[in-house]
A = this chain, B = another copy of it.
Amino acid sequence: MILSGCGVYDGSEIHEATSILIALSMRGLSYQCFAPNIMQHHVVNHLTGEEMDEQRNVLVESARIARGDIKEIGDFSAETFDAVIFPGGFGVAKNLCDLAFEGAACEVHEDIRKVILWMVKEEKPIGALCISPAMIARVLPQADVTIGQDRSTIDVIEAMEGVHHNTDNCEVIVDEKYKLVTTPCYMLDATIAEVFQGALNIVDEIIQLWNEK
C-alpha cells in the first residue's frame, strides 16, 4: 500500500487506508506500506480546516497508519510484490502529485510514476480508491477508472483522456488492459461501512485478476 501522509486533508484518508489493510488481512494476504520521503505540501488543522504553520514529512506521518512498519517508495520492487493499492485522501493530490493545483496538467512524483508503470509492465494488479484513480489516469493513457460521480473531477480525468465510468457506493471498475481496479469510497457521500466494503471489493477483484492469469 502506498501512503501519502496521515489524514484526509493533507495526507492519506485514514479510514480508506485502514480498510485496505483489514481487507487484505481478512483474505489472508500480507502487506508492506510504502511512502515517499518528502515534505508534505502543507499541514491542515483537521478540526478547523485551516493551514497550520508547521512542516511534516510524508513518510514519517504515514508511519502512523503503518504502526512504524513502512519503507521508502524508492525501495519498492514490482518483482517482489503481487499488487499495489493506493488509498485516497488529499495527500494523493497534494503530495504524490500536484493534481489539486494543476488539474489535468499535473505532474506525478517520479517514484510513484515508476511504481505504476513497473506494475503494468509486470502485468500485476493496481488498486486505487477515492481520488487516486485520477492520478493513475495521468500516468496510464485511456485508463478505465471511476471516482464516483463528481463532475469537476470527471472533467479533469477526461481532459487527461482517461475514460470515466459513473459508479455508486462500493462499485468497482476493472480495466483489464492495465489490470487496474478502482472504486469511489469517500468521493461519494459514503458511510465508513461502505468505504470498508469498497476496499474489500477492490481486494477481491485483485484476487480475481490473479486467478485469471
Binding site for B on A (CB under 8 A): 6-9, 13-15, 18-19, 21-22, 25-26, 45-47, 49, 54, 59-61, 63-68, 70, 191-196
Nearest 7 CB-CB pairings of A with B: A7-B64, A25-B193, A46-B63, A18-B18, A47-B63, A26-B193, A25-B192
**Partner among B47, B60, B61, B192 whose Cβ is within 8 Å of the Cβ of A70:** B47
Q: Give me 17 A-to-B residue pairs in the complex whose CB atoms sit less than 8 angstroms apart, sorted by A's number.
A: A6-B14, A6-B64, A7-B64, A8-B64, A15-B21, A15-B22, A18-B19, A18-B192, A22-B193, A22-B195, A25-B193, A26-B193, A26-B196, A46-B61, A46-B64, A46-B68, A49-B68
Are A45 and B60 in contact, CB atoms less than 8 angstroms apart? yes
Given contact pairs A8-B68, A46-B67, enumerate 5 new A-B contacts (beta carbons under 8 Å): A6-B64, A8-B67, A18-B192, A22-B192, A46-B66
- Whole-angstrom distance between the Cβ of A12 and the nearest chain B Cβ: 10
Are A196 and B63 in contact, CB atoms less than 8 angstroms apart? no
A147 to B98, CA, bound (A): 44
- Whole-angstrom distance between the Cβ of A90 and the nearest chain B Cβ: 11
Chain B hits for A15, CB < 8 A: 18, 21-22, 67
A104 to B194, CA, bound (A): 41
Interface of chain A, main secondary structure? helix
Are A25 and B191 in contact, CB atoms less than 8 angstroms apart? yes
Chain B hits for A191, CB < 8 A: 25
Which of chain B's residues has its CB closest to A66's CB?
A: B46
- Whole-angstrom distance between the Cβ of A11 and the nearest chain B Cβ: 8
Which of chain B's residues has its CB closest to A195's CB?
A: B22
Which of chain B's residues has its CB closest to A25's CB?
A: B193
Are B22 and A196 in contact, CB atoms less than 8 angstroms apart? yes
Chain B hits for A60, CB < 8 A: 45-47
Q: A7-B6, A22-B196, A192-B25 are in contact. Are A14 and B46 (CB under 8 A)?
A: no
- Whole-angstrom distance between the Cβ of A169 and the nearest chain B Cβ: 12
Q: A46-B63, A46-B64 are in contact. Are A22 and B21 (CB under 8 A)?
A: no
